[in-house]
Chain A
Amino acid sequence: MKKTIKKIWNWIDDRIGISQNILPILRHPVPPKAKWSYVFGTAVLFSFVLQVVTGIGLSLLYQPSSKDAYESLLFITNKAKFGNLLRGIHYFGASAMIIFVGIHMIRVYITASYKFPREMNWISGVFLLLCTIFMGFTGQLLRWDSNGVWSSVVAAEQLGRTPFIGKYLARFLLGGDTIGGQSLSRFYSYHVFIVPAMIFLFVGLHLYLVIQNGISEPTKAGRLVDPKTYRAWYKNLLKEKGVPFWPNAAWRDTMFSAILIICIVVVAFIFGPPALSGKPDPAVLHTSPTPDWYMVPFFALFALMPHKIESIVMLLGPVLTVVILFSIPFISNRGERSPLKRPWAVYGVICVTIFAISLLVIGLKAPWSPHFNTKPVPLSAIKSQNPDSTIIQGVHLFYSKGCNYCHKINDYGGIDGPNLTTIGNRLSIQELTVRIVNGGKNMPSYGGILTKDELNNIVAFLKSQD
């Protein structure tokens, strides 16, 4: 029996050439001591494979049509066996892919692995980064709930800021003048065929380059990269101290990626996929579009930057980022690689990371958004013990006129404007009146909206908050 299997294997191996061609690649020598900091690229690759596999699973259940997509999402989430888990894995897999693309990129940058001769490794990686972001964005649209529909409008608006051709870019993205039947078909094609095909292509190139140029050796302060001598030196290093990739180095990649995938499945099982927001009806306007977490920093940036410059930032920001990313290996492709000797590179990474995480944290809070779902301040929560009718009227008006959406009193209300719990201490009746009538930078002027009585009631209520 064993003999027969061996015979069959030998025949297959002979005809396919596994021992002859594939195994030598798997066993190619890599520098020694390339340990846990080298597993992140594989982690991205395995998350991508997970995305392909779960994506195929979802495509068996999904209807890529503007009319039916939402219904099929409801079916996947609520009815299909393991459908909820499948969506969850695809969502958390996407999150993992984005996180590990970032970590992999940071690792490569602070150890300057993009230097000679690996410039093309970096460039193909930048293409993969852009593809990954695009996949994250289009994937969110395919849910085709109100969030998906309005997110595509927001994206079209951003493209629309491009001078001269903005209108055409926006039209191109939506597939027409408005959201419609054609929009989802296009997003589906981008997300499922066009961009994955590009990812396969660039992953192929990226991996080929890893074999062609070898992985970068662990850094050592003072050991400089010199394009004239590096290749010969690297070859010699592998000859003298190299270890086979499989299994000496690859077991770490395998273990890390396996644990990652198990974690993704467990997290997906516990938390499930993001809830669907309402129907994809462009006429249902009581909806608050919020992007998935990895898009939130951009969303936050648009809320926080001075609005005079935002058209320019929306255009130049992405263009400059891409230009800088592509030019990094050409700005400096030789010399020191050790992060110990490149403090500015480390400092830059720390700054960018803190910037992105801060935007994410504040973006998730979104203090600039009115809180439409806030509850009115109950009479038990106001300062006045025995409120007269003007104050009671004022409390009601404070809610119905929208003040509550942005101003907090005790635990009730939004946080866009100042907290007014003790405003009666700070402002006189006259000052309160002036503020409300005139408004301010981020507050409408209520002069034309409130009647004299309404104004007096609100002022009376606020004055009683002392």
Chain B
Amino acid sequence: MNEESTNRIEESPKEITRRNFFLKLSLSLAGLGAAAAAVPVVSALIAPLLEKKNQVWRGVGKVNQFQEGTTTLVRFTNADPKPYAGTTAESAAWLRRNEKNDFIAFAANCTHLGCPVRWEKDAHLFMCPCHGGVYYANGTVAAGPPPFPLTKYQVRVVNNEVEIKTAPIPITHIGSKSV
């Protein structure tokens, strides 16, 4: 093709349409390819938002393992642990037996910023190591920054076995009320 004919082709509106067509086609295909590859990647990224998790009841011990008027640390397996979760497959709760079958299970997370509260059994207080939050034995705020009482898990007694219902890590947010 000599120079003259090249120029002639570029000037022809019909040939430009043809080139345009291929340009657009190639860009569209590239976009389609990228989108197709992106679907599983984005899905992996937002997986936590797509999963629907059912909460389950987990046994934490026989009723008479817990003395009346005491608060004990119990641990239970989360709703749907991954096989490679190791110790992080479990959560902890502070289980208080008031009397007979009357149990309360407190989440171990401070309602201020989620740090682990510890039960000081002689002082009868829950204390948070982070910003000085303190709670009474019934979970109400005794001192410090926590905006709400300790969150509670659902708890029940079935066949003399104490069971706790798994739940997401309690998240305090604006306008939220304690469960």
Contact = CB atoms under 8 A, between A and B. Distances in A.
A29 B51 CA distance: 56
B162 to A, nearest CB: 16
How many residues of B sit at the interface, in one of the four size bands? 35 or more
A171 B108 contact: no
Interface stretch (B2-10, B14-22, B26-34, B109-117): B109-117
Interface in A274-319: 279-289, 299, 302-303, 307, 310-312, 315
Interface in A170-216: 170-172, 174-184
A180 B89 contact: yes
A49 to B, nearest CB: 28
B84 A66 contact: yes
B79 interface: yes
A281 B108 contact: no
Interface stretch (B61-69, B95-103, B123-131, B153-161): B123-131
28 contacts: A67-B85, A153-B114, A154-B130, A163-B175, A170-B171, A171-B48, A171-B49, A175-B47, A175-B48, A178-B169, A180-B78, A181-B89, A182-B48, A279-B87, A282-B90, A283-B108, A285-B92, A285-B117, A285-B118, A289-B115, A303-B131, A307-B147, A312-B174, A370-B134, A402-B122, A442-B143, A444-B125, A444-B143
A311 B129 contact: no
A68 B86 contact: yes
B79 to A, nearest CB: 7
Contact of A280 (B88, B124, B169): B88
Contact of A442 (B47, B86, B114, B144): B144
A162 interface: yes
Interface string B128-140: 0111101010000
A231 interface: no
A230 interface: no
A451 to B, nearest CB: 11
Contact of B113 (A162, A183, A288, A302): A302
Interface of A: 65-68, 149-150, 153-154, 156-158, 160-163, 166-168, 170-172, 174-184, 279-289, 299, 302-303, 307, 310-312, 315, 368-370, 372, 400-402, 405-406, 416, 439-445, 448-449
Contact of B48 (A174, A312, A416, A441): A174
B9 to A, nearest CB: 33
Given A153-B169, A402-B120, A372 B114 contact: no
Nearest to B127: A370
Contacts of A183: 88
Q: Looking at chain A's contact residues, is the secondary structure mostly helix, strand, loop, or mixed?
A: loop
A156 B49 contact: no
A181 B82 CA distance: 5
Nearest to A177: B168
Interface of B: 46-49, 51, 53, 73, 75, 78-92, 108-109, 112-118, 120, 122-125, 127, 129-132, 134, 136, 142-145, 147, 166-169, 171-175
Given A176-B51, A176-B53, A177-B78, A287 B87 contact: no
Given A154-B114, A161-B172, A370 B147 contact: no
A375 to B, nearest CB: 16
A399 B97 CA distance: 25
A283 to B, nearest CB: 4
Of B84, B120, B132, B172, chain A has the most CB atoms within 10 Å of the CB of B132
Contacts of A154: 113-115, 130
Residue from B80, B82, B83 with most neighbouring chain A CB atoms (10 Å): B82
Contacts of A156: 114, 169, 171
B60 to A, nearest CB: 11
A133 B92 CA distance: 31
Contacts of A66: 82, 84-86, 88
A53 B28 CA distance: 39
